[in-house]
Each structure stands twice: as C-alpha cells, then as structure tokens.
Amino acid sequence: MTFIGLHKDTSERIDITQFEHPRLIIKSGDCVCQLCGSPLMVRAGNVYRAHFSHYGERECHSEFRSHPESPEHREAKTILAQFLKENYLEYSSARFDYEVPIPEVRRVADILVNFPMGWRIAHEIQLAGISIEELQARTDDYYKAGIDVVWWLGKSADTLTNRAWCVQTFGYCVTLNLRTGNHDRIKTLPR
Ligand SMILES: [Zn+2]
C-alpha cells in the first residue's frame, strides 16, 4: 500500500494522489514497487484515497524496513503535508516528497521535506504503538543519513512516555489528531 510507484518502462516516480481520476490514467501493472520491483495494482475506491498495492495478499518483500500501512496512515500523510504548508511559512518554498527510500539506512520516510539550501527533514507519522527504543533507533538512522526528523504521535503511539521522550530529545513534541484535525505542539508535559 503506497502512493508512489515507478513507471515500469521509464522508472519515473508516479504519485497517484496527483491524479483526479487515477484509473483513467494509470493501469494496474503499469507501475512497480520502488522498494521490491513487483508490479502494483491501482486501488481507487469511493471511500479511500487512491493508492497502489501489491498483487494478491502479498506484502512488500524488500530489504527496506517498511511497515504495512493502514488507510488512515496514508490519509494522514496528505493531511499533515497540507497542515505544514499552511502553518509554517518556511515550508512554502520547500519540496515535499512522499515515501522516500533512504537506501543507506534501509528506511522509507513518510514525508521528506527538501529545503532550497539542502536541509532535509523527515516528518514521520506514528499511529501504531512504538517503544522509545525504536523511536531512538529510527531517529539515529535518519541522523546517520544527514536527515532531521519530526515524530507526529497519534492514536496508540501518543503516550505520555513517547511524549516525554520527544520533549527530552527535541525540546518539544507534536501530536496528530486525525479525528478533530487539532495538531498540538507541546513543550512541557503535565505532571
Ligand atoms: Zn514492494
């Protein structure tokens, strides 16, 4: 499940969210997975935003440490990108890429924001439960690749322990509330 496929002939990156009627433009099998090279199906229903998926029940089998995504997680990427563009002036000159493989650490950034001066920052949406050890490991990997990271905590990942880790590590914590659309920036934690 992904928004990004590579055209099987040209290897062009195709972002399926950029098409109003993707089924009229992209055929299943036209694109392959950017991580494992398998052909992708076009999925465009009435409820969920259009996306690609591997054929059958197959998950992606690649060296990359990516995780199966929920429809909610996919939707959250577009909501968050819109929020960043609308609320942070410096983001208006930045380029947004989705699901960007970072080969040197075998991870895939949810949203990679590229600023004109070369600064790169990954915005990661974390909805599934996660330990602070895992948050630390993923953060260290991004730093190794020269990329800053912001963790947007939502749902099961939005715990006091994870908030405290973010505040301690970055000096702030940001949370994502997909139901209300209220995204918070927290600098200190309630005792
Ligand atoms: Zn794949």
pLDDT at position 191: 52
Residue 67 has pLDDT above 80, yes or no: no
**Judging by beta carbons within 10 Å of its beta carbon (0-12, 13-18, 19+), is residue 165 exposed, middle or buried?**
buried
CA of 12 to the centre of ligand 1 (A): 16
Dig out the tokens for 156 from the structure.
Answer: 């099961």
The DSSP letter of residue 94 is: S
Q: Counting every residue, how long is the chain?
A: 191
pLDDT value at residue 29: 94
- Over range 150-174, report the average pLDDT: 95
pLDDT tens-place string over residues 10-53: 999 999 988 888 888 999 999 999 999 999 999 887 777 889 99
pLDDT > 70 in the chain, percent = 96
- CA–centroid distance, 111 to ligand 1, in Å, is 18
Whole-angstrom Cα distance, residue 170 to residue 26? 41
Question: Which stretches does DSSP call E strand in the chain?
Answer: 4-7, 13-15, 31-32, 40-43, 51-54, 95-102, 107-114, 120-126, 148-153, 173-175, 184-186
User: What is the whole-number distance in angstroms between the Cα of residue 165 and the centre of ligand 1?
Assistant: 32
80 alpha carbon – ligand 1 mean position (Å): 24
Average pLDDT over residues 69-86: 87
pLDDT of residue 190: 58
Distance 32 CA to ligand 1 centre (A): 8
What residue has token string 């509330």?
Answer: 177
Domains and CATH numbers, the chain: 4-54 (no CATH), 71-186 (3.40.1350)
In the chain, count H helices and then E strands: 4, 11
| Matching residue, tokens 């465009």 | 44
Say yes or no to pLDDT of 89 above 60.
Answer: yes
What confidence score (pLDDT) does residue 48 get? 73
Q: How would residue 148 be classed by pLDDT, with cut points 50, 70 and 90?
A: very high
Confidence of residue 105 (pLDDT cuts 50, 70, 90): very high
Contact (Cβ atoms closer than 8 angstroms) between residue 123 and residue 110: yes
CB 145 within 8 A of CB 135: no
Q: What separation in Å is there between the alpha carbon of 62 and the centre of ligand 1? A: 6
As a whole number of angstroms, the distance between CA 111 and CA 78 comes to 9
Torsion-angle region of 106 (φ positive above 0: left; ψ -120 to 50: alpha; else: beta): left
